[in-house]
């Protein structure tokens, strides 16, 4: 990875001092700024117009209390966030995450990434992220519903199809979006489908939204491999995680002829040399909400490794689809030594800066999350399109649109990398291409 250009040192120092302790946010900003040296030298107007400072300062940050009552009648208090980062390209757009690790620094890192990811899709969406330190693990359906209702009771006043459109992320799936939408509708007395995405198909959701992030990651991987005359067919693939992104990345990889042999969750990982049985995995994780060890118990040739790192499993393609900083330099070395050829981030920032650098130095094809996982939010934007026109598209049509969008994302990254003299560097390409789109819109809109 490049070093931070002298022209941008001061900007990064300002981000550090204005946002103390927000480690993940610092990491996300540095990763983008490291790519922008040549851009600001070629276009000094971005510096003169303080575009970088404006981009690093969210337009609006909301922090609020979420009180709710658990099944034992005890009052519980959580903290929730919505960071509306940048609306130069469209209404704020980005998911909500429910996880005990959520604090302002996580939401800001995710919101910052979202600006560039959304820009890369070519669609008219700004960047935002939200969430809560609420831990859904072990909570009943009724508790989840009360929590979502209480959260929306504050959040609704900040949302709107032309203002801010949340969706899911870790811990927030179709069930939670349903409860949030129900409460929004009740409070506002408006059936405003376009205010949330990731909805169920029965009430304005889009085909392929559930599959979109995982499918998109694999479409991007296939494009990347094609630049070297390769493809996923016959490749040995591992995914990390076993949520929405991981399951559907595995599904599309299998459809394209890959052999997907491992996945994981926070308890450890599973290797199944017969290839993952996705129907069983879905039952265990999505329906029964159990650990992956339960999957291994039911498969003859699967083993569960408690507490282990899935990156120890030899593979040719690795798809980190769990969470930030889950793949560090040591894990990257193991993957490289065992012959990995391509790594695509299905999750947001799963590779540490060290890991990314090692992959790039070793000549491994590496796709950063803001490019590789853009299919999720892109399909959210397709859901908004369908809602706005009161239409619903077929699975085939929607999947085709998703694939075209991912081919477009890949093309933009590759073209920017070439133009700035770093062919094959998807990190630089993604950062430069998306920055240019957002920065030019910001310049056009004036100092607002
Ligand atoms: N949370 C997802 C992401 O990281 C999806 C956001 C959305 O659909 O708005 O991009």
- Six-digit token string for 303: 């083993």
Residue 387 lies in a domain: no
Which residue, 222, 205, 209, 198, is CA-closest to 406?
222
Domain end position, chosen among 17, 36, 55: 55
Which residue, 379, 373, 315, is CA-closest to 345?
373
The atom of ligand 1 lying closest to the CA of 348 is 4
Q: Is the pLDDT of residue 1 over 60?
A: no
Mean pLDDT of 199-214: 98
Residues forming a β-bridge with 175: none
Q: What would the pLDDT profile of 395-410 be if each residue is shown by its tens digit? A: 999 999 999 999 999 9
Mean pLDDT of 318-325: 98
Kindly state if the Cβ of 376 falls inside 6 Å of ligand 1: yes
Residue 406 lies in a domain: no
Query: What's the rounded Cα separation, in Å, for the pair 65 and 73?
Result: 18
Residue 44 lies in domain: 6-55
Catalytic annotation present for 370:
no
**Cβ contacts of 330 within 8 Å, gap of 6 or more:** none
Residue 384 lies in a domain: no
> How far is ligand 1, taken at its centre, from the CA of residue 5, in Å?
30
Q: How wide is the angle at C-alpha 121 spanned by C-alphas 179 and 406, nearest 5°?
A: 100
Cβ density class 248-265: b for 16+ within 10 Å, e for less? bbbbbbbebebbbbbbbb
- Pick from 84, 85, 95, 215 the residue to mutate for probing ligand 1's pocket: most ligand atoms within 8 Å of its CB: 95
Query: What's the rounded Cα separation, in Å, for the pair 250 and 304?
Result: 18
Q: Is the pLDDT of residue 210 over 90?
A: yes
- Does 85 lie in the same domain as 37? no
Residue 419 lies in a domain: no
Query: What's the rounded Cα separation, in Å, for the pair 331 and 240?
Result: 12
Domain end position, chosen among 308, 342, 372: 372
Number of structural domains in the chain: 3
CATH for 262: 3.40.50.720
**Cα dihedral sign, 74-157-447-27:** positive
Query: What's the rounded Cα separation, in Å, for the pair 237 and 245?
Result: 15
Mean pLDDT of 13-31: 98
- Does 146 lie in the same domain as 271? no
Kindly state if the Cβ of 95 falls inside 6 Å of ligand 1: yes
- Does 78 lie in the same domain as 153? yes
Q: What would the pLDDT profile of 24-39 be if each residue is shown by its tens digit? A: 999 999 999 999 999 9
- Does 363 lie in the same domain as 245? yes
- Six-digit token string for 377: 């939010």
Which residue, 194, 12, 180, 15, is CA-closest to 92?
194
Identify the pLDDT of residue 115.
Answer: 98
Query: What's the rounded Cα separation, in Å, for the pair 143 and 352?
Result: 35
Residue nearest (by alpha carbon) to ligand 1 atom 9? 94
Kindly state if the Cβ of 212 falls inside 6 Å of ligand 1: no
- Does 92 lie in the same domain as 49? no
- Does 43 lie in the same domain as 15? yes
Catalytic annotation, pick one of 93, 129, 185, 199: 129
Residue 430 lies in a domain: no
The atom of ligand 1 lying closest to the CA of 377 is 8
The atom of ligand 1 lying closest to the CA of 374 is 10
25 touches 49 (CB < 8 A): no
CATH for 103: 3.40.50.10860
Q: Is the pLDDT of residue 269 over 60?
A: yes
Identify the pLDDT of residue 205.
Answer: 98
- Does 158 lie in the same domain as 70? yes
Mean pLDDT of 190-211: 98
pLDDT band at 3 (very low <50, low <70, confident <90, very high): confident
Identify the pLDDT of residue 37.
Answer: 97
- Does 116 lie in the same domain as 32? no
Residue 240 lies in a domain: yes
State phi, psi for 273 to the nearest 5 degrees.
-65, -20
- Does 83 lie in the same domain as 46? no
Query: What's the rounded Cα separation, in Å, for the pair 309 and 269?
Result: 7
Q: What would the pLDDT profile of 422-440 be if each residue is shown by its tens digit? A: 999 999 999 999 999 999 9
Residue 402 lies in a domain: no
The atom of ligand 1 lying closest to the CA of 373 is 10
Q: Is the pTM of this model over 0.85?
A: yes
Q: What would the pLDDT profile of 132-181 be if each residue is shown by its tens digit? A: 999 999 999 999 999 999 999 999 999 999 999 999 999 999 999 999 99
160 touches 167 (CB < 8 A): no
Q: What would the pLDDT profile of 39-75 be if each residue is shown by its tens digit? A: 999 999 999 999 999 999 999 999 999 999 999 999 9
Identify the pLDDT of residue 2.
Answer: 62
Kindly state if the Cβ of 382 falls inside 6 Å of ligand 1: no
Kindly state if the Cβ of 380 falls inside 6 Å of ligand 1: yes
Query: What's the rounded Cα separation, in Å, for the pair 260 and 342?
Result: 14
Q: What would the pLDDT profile of 366-393 be if each residue is shown by its tens digit? A: 999 999 999 999 999 999 999 999 999 9
Cβ density class 312-325: b for 16+ within 10 Å, e for less? ebbbbbbbbbbbbb
- Does 144 lie in the same domain as 70? yes
Query: What's the rounded Cα separation, in Å, for the pair 224 and 342?
Result: 8
> How far is ligand 1, taken at its centre, from the CA of residue 98, in Å?
13
Kindly state if the Cβ of 94 falls inside 6 Å of ligand 1: yes
Query: What's the rounded Cα separation, in Å, for the pair 309 and 316?
Result: 16
Domain end position, chosen among 351, 372, 393: 372
Residue 263 lies in a domain: yes
Q: What would the pLDDT profile of 105-125 be if each residue is shown by its tens digit? A: 999 999 999 999 999 999 999
Q: What would the pLDDT profile of 227-237 be if each residue is shown by its tens digit? A: 999 999 999 99
- Does 71 lie in the same domain as 43? no
Kindly state if the Cβ of 197 falls inside 6 Å of ligand 1: yes
- Does 174 lie in the same domain as 83? yes
């Amino acid at each position: 990875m490049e070093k931070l250009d002298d022209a941008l040192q001061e900007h990064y120092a300002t981000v550090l001092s204005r946002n103390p302790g927000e480690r993940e946010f610092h990491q996300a900003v540095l990763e983008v700024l490291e790519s922008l040296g040549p851009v600001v030298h070629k276009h000094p107007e971005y510096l003169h117009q303080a575009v970088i400072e404006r981009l690093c300062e969210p337009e609006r940050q909301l922090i609020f209390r979420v009180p709710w009552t658990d099944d034992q009648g005890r009052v519980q208090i959580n903290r929730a966030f919505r960071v509306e980062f940048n609306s130069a390209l469209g209404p704020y757009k980005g998911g909500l995450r429910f996880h005990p690790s959520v604090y302002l620094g996580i939401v800001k890192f995710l919101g910052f990434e979202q600006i560039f990811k959304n820009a890369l899709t070519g669609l008219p969406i700004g960047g935002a992220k939200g969430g809560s330190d609420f831990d859904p693990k072990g909570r009943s359906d009724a508790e989840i519903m009360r929590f979502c209702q209480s959260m929306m009771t504050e959040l609704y006043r900040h949302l709107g199809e032309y203002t801010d459109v949340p969706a899911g992320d870790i811990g927030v799936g179709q069930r939670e979006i349903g409860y949030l939408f129900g409460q929004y509708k009740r409070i506002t007395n408006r059936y405003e489908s376009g205010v949330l995405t990731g909805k169920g198909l029965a009430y304005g959701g889009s085909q392929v939204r559930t599959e979109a992030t995982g499918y998109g990651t694999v479409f991007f991987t296939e494009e990347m491999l094609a630049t070297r005359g390769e493809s996923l067919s016959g490749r040995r693939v591992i995914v990390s995680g076993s949520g929405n992104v991981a399951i559907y990345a595995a599904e599309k990889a299998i459809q394209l002829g890959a052999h997907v042999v491992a996945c994981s969750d926070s308890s450890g990982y599973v290797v199944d040399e017969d290839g993952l049985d996705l129907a069983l995995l879905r039952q265990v994780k999505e329906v029964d909400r159990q650990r992956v060890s339960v999957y291994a118990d039911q498969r003859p040739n699967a083993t569960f490794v408690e507490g282990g790192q899935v990156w120890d499993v030899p593979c040719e393609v690795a798809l980190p689809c769990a969470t930030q900083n889950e793949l560090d330099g040591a894990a990257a070395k193991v993957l490289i030594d065992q012959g990995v050829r391509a790594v695509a981030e299905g999750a947001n920032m799963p590779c540490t800066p060290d890991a990314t650098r090692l992959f790039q130095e070793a000549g491994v094809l590496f796709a950063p999350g803001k490019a590789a996982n853009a299919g999720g939010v892109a399909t959210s934007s397709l859901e908004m399109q369908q809602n706005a026109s009161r239409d619903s598209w077929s699975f085939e049509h929607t999947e085709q649109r998703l694939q075209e969008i991912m081919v477009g994302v890949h093309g933009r990254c590759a073209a920017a990398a070439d133009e700035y003299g770093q062919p094959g560097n998807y990190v630089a390409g993604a950062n430069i291409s998306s920055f240019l789109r957002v920065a030019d819109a910001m310049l056009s809109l004036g100092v607002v």
